[in-house]
Amino acid sequence: MTFENAQNLWHQTCAEQVEAPVLSSDVTVDLVVIGGGYTGCSAALHAAQMGASVCLLEAEEIGHGGSGRNVGLANAGLWLPPAEIRKHMGDGPGDRLVSLLADAPRLVFDLIARHGIACEAVQNGTLHCAHSPAGFKDLQVRHTQLQSSGAPVDLLDAEETAARTGSDAFYGGLFDPRAGTIQPLSYARGLARAAVQAWAQVYQNSPALRIQHDGDVWHVETAGGTVRAKALIHATNAYHRDLASSAPEYVPVHYFQCATDPLPEALRATILPGGEGCWDTGLIMTSFRMDEAGRLVIGAMGNLGHAASDIHRAWVRRKLIELYPELREVPLGQGWHGRIAMTSDHIPKITAIGPRAYAVHGYSGRGIGPGTVFGKGMAEALITGDDMRLPIPAIDAYHEWMTSARQIFFETGATLTHLFKARF
């Protein structure tokens, strides 16, 4: 079984393509966007729809980073429950962010429908599954807070959760009907394709090598040309390259996934029959969902690129059998991993990196909805000059502490958990 990123299921099943050549000339635009993930593509699309001239630069291919490697759960909100967001941000900004991200799935699925993005979109909700009695208590707290914020969520007992998941491994669940699943790489490339159709210029394999402001406009240099722009958005998140002027500070956390071969119809009828996407309450979280062809995609925190990664690989099979004993003999055909930009408070950060310029990072594993919302908000703020369009207030700088040590801590914790857990 191969777990290289070349075995990324999303690359194999991506139905969207975008014409994005290498930048080979000098360009002058209203807005330059660096980064071709959800944030950058959303920013480019929305700015172009407002009538602005836009140039997007992606160092690799569109969706190369986390946007083409994640689980594909289009959730409402962040990992944090609403009260924790307000605690960190204050009531006013916290209420605004909670409200915007509560509506994030609607924005995502509306964009998919409006632009005909072929990304296996299923808006049948998500299930946050309690892996223990303590996990169910956490879901009860989240349920109360979410309902008080107006979210239409339902708390499910163990029996109902088993009926919806097809597994009796959980003590209950929290169902959110606003959310759903997508083919994540197809969504990113579909946004880029829609941006091109709105007359944005999109270039890939065109890394930004130098960024500077001359007192009037921004200059972004690549190997093949230079982009001059009145405004700039830096949206590279956990896949930032060596551009010190806007380098984000975060804790890199890896997340890996594996996919079964397509399941027989009889099994598909009993495993996630309603099409929900799922994750559990474990500290080292497990996610699982079904794709359009009936593959079960299962993932967890961990890096498949180091010497001890065989521990993660062995755990996948054990966890799959723990959840669904009937899949004991089903092959796992693909495996891949990506990076998450984690902040200490699990809240994204927008930094003002110069005149009419923003950088954003730190979705902490919730990139699809927040990335789409933040890209749209930053584009609107820069094009209109109204910073109230930003989803959160911009700050001058953001600093994290002991990022390398904490990265090692998270990966060691994931490795040890996977070494000892789900053993029979």
pLDDT of residue 76: 95
pLDDT of residue 423: 58
Q: Which stretches in the chain have pLDDT values below 70?
A: 1-6, 244-246, 422-424
Q: How many residues does the chain have?
A: 424
Instruction: Determine which helix (DSSP H) or strand (DSSP E) holds 353, and give its type and residue range.
Output: strand 349-354
The CA distances from residue 407 to 64, 92, 251, 302, 304, in Å, are 22, 32, 6, 11, 14
Taking the C-alpha atoms of residue 237 and residue 268, their distance in angstroms, rounded to an integer, is 36
Residue 263: DSSP 8-state = P
Taking the C-alpha atoms of residue 195 and residue 189, their distance in angstroms, rounded to an integer, is 10
- The answer to whether 234 touches 127, Cβ cutoff 8 Å, is no
Fold (CATH) for 5-125+178-420: FAD/NAD(P)-binding domain (3.50.50)
| Phi, psi (degrees; rounded to nearest 5) at 116 | 60, 45
| Phi, psi (degrees; rounded to nearest 5) at 345 | -100, 5
Q: What is the pLDDT of residues 240-290, one digit of tens each?
A: 887 756 678 888 899 999 999 999 999 999 999 999 999 999 988 999 999
120: left (phi over 0), alpha (psi -120 to 50) or beta: left
pLDDT of residue 183: 98
Q: What is the pLDDT of residues 340-392, one digit of tens each?
A: 998 999 999 999 999 999 999 999 989 999 999 999 999 999 999 999 999 99
- Burial (CB count <10 Å: 0-12, 13-18, 19+), residue 345: middle
pLDDT of residue 419: 87
